[in-house]
Amino acid sequence: MSAAASALVLGLAAHNDPAETMARAARRSYGPAQNVGNGTVRTYITVDEKDGRIPVEIGVALSESAMNNLPTAASAAATSDLAAHATMPMVMNMYLLDLPAQNPTPYKFVQFDWNPVGHEPPGIYDLPHFDFHFYRVPVAVRNSINPTDPQFASKAALYPAEQLRAPFYLDAATPARASAGAVTIPLMGLHWLDVRSPELQGMAGHPEAFKPFTKTYIYGSWNGEFIFDEPMITRAYLMSKKDATDAAVRDEIIPVSTPSKYGLSGFYPNAYRITYDATAKEYRVALTQLIRRD
C-alpha cells in the first residue's frame, strides 16, 4: 500500500466517530432544484471541512415556501411512473432528485414523494406526509422493479441475508401475509419496518404503547439487496420544527438500527436528522453521522 493510500485509510478510520464527524461538517453542496408547492426541493451533501472524500451528511432541503400550495393529486410529470403502481391505492406526487456532482456516498439519487392523503395501512400511515427514498442503486434498477418483468416474482421473493438486516426490522409483507397478502411495491421495493415504531404498536398487539405516526425510518430491498433508506415524516411534524424553541427539538437527530454488514462498502448513517434552518429558510431531512461500513 502506498503512503498516500495508507494516509487515506488512517484518515477514514479516524473519522468513524459520529460525534467527531458531525462537529467537522462544514461544506455543503446542493443538487439541482425542482419546483414543489410554492417553492423548491433539492438534495445536498456535506463533507468534511478538510477532506472532501469524507461525507458527513446527505439530505433533502425544502424551501420554506415549498410547504404551501402542495399538490393534492399526482402531478403530470409523475403520471407515467404512477401507472406502474396499479396495485398501490394511494395518491402520490413523485420527484426524482439528482445528487450534487461531488458525491462520495454510496447513494445514487433520491426519490422524494408527497402523499397528500397518506397511504396504507389505514389508521397508521394515512396522514399527509413526505417520503425520502435515498437509493443505493441507479434509477435504471429502480425502474426495473416492474411486474411486467418475467422475473419480478422471483426477485421480489429473494430477501437480503440475515447479516444485512438491521436489528428490530421485519419486512412489511410479514403482517400483510396474514391478512390481505403483500407485494413488493413497483418502482420502489419491499419495505422493512422497525417493529418498535410507536405507530405500529396497535397492529402489534400493544395498543397501550400506540402513538400516531409523526416520523419513522424504513429500509427497502429488492432482489436480495437493500437498495434504499427512507425517513418518512408527516408534513405537520416537519413544519413544527420552525417554531420549536428547544434547539434539540428544532434540530432533531434520531439514531437508527444498523446491520452488522453492508452489501457494498461505503459511508452509511448512524442516524437521521430533521431540522429547520432559519438562516437558509429551509427544512432539511437527512441521513447523518455517516461512517465507513463494509
Least confident span in 74-88, 211-225, 263-277: 74-88
Alpha helices in 108-259 (DSSP H): 139-143, 152-156, 173-177, 235-243, 247-250
Q: What is the mean pLDDT of the chain?
A: 86
- pLDDT for 55: 97
In this structure, of 63-72, 86-95, 98-107, the range with the lowest mean pLDDT score is 86-95
Residue 157: predicted pLDDT: 87
pTM of the model: 0.86
| Residue 26, pLDDT score | 64
- Give the model's pLDDT for residue 19: 44
Every domain of the chain and the residues it spans: 3-293
Section 137-151 average pLDDT: 95
Contact 166, 258 (CB under 8 A): yes
Say if residues 240 and 215 touch (Cβ distance below 8 Å).
no
236 three-state secondary structure: helix
Give residue-wise pLDDT tens across range 249-278: 999 999 999 999 999 999 999 999 999 999
Does residue 207 sit in helix, strand or coil? helix
Is pLDDT above 50 for 155?
A: yes
pLDDT at res. 180: 33
Q: Which three cell numbers stand for residue 115?
A: 402523499
Mean pLDDT of 100-118: 96
Question: Cα–Cα distance between 29 and 119 in angstroms, integer?
Answer: 32
Task: Please state the rounded mean pLDDT for residues 175-199.
Answer: 76
pLDDT above 90 as % of the chain: 74
Instruction: Report the pLDDT averaged over residues 82-98.
Output: 66
Per-residue confidence (pLDDT) for residue 120, from 0 to 100: 83
**Sign of the CA dihedral 54, 42, 107, 109?**
negative
Q: 176 or 171: whose pLDDT is higher?
A: 171
3-state SS of 82-132?
A: HCCCCCCCCCCEEEEEECCCCCCCCCCEEEEEEECCCCCCCCCCCCCEEEE
